[in-house]
Amino acid sequence: MASRSLAERIEALCAWIEAEPLPKPLFVGLAAGHAATRTMCIDQAIGRLHALGVAAFTDPVALVKAAAKALR
């Protein structure tokens, strides 16, 4: 996400999910630099996504493990 606002990106994704519920589970990996987290921290973003039933991770290994488990 580079220096783009994390809050703007998360809110846009959440609005899209709320408008059209997902037919399958969604797994999201998050990484953001200091500039991107000025208005929303990573933990807030994860909480916002979890509230919509989206699995969000900052650890790529945990992301892959969760996705693999869901496919079993």
For residue 63, CA distances in Å to 15, 43, 58 come to 22, 15, 8
Q: Structurally, how many domains does the chain consist of? A: 1
**Domain with 56 in it:** 6-71
pLDDT for res 52: 94
Answer whether residue 4 shows pLDDT above 80.
Answer: no
26-68 pLDDT, tens digit per residue, is 999 998 888 788 889 999 999 999 999 999 999 999 999 999 9
The pTM (predicted TM-score) of the whole model is: 0.83
Residue 18 lies in a domain: yes
Residue 47 lies in a domain: yes
Residue 1 lies in a domain: no
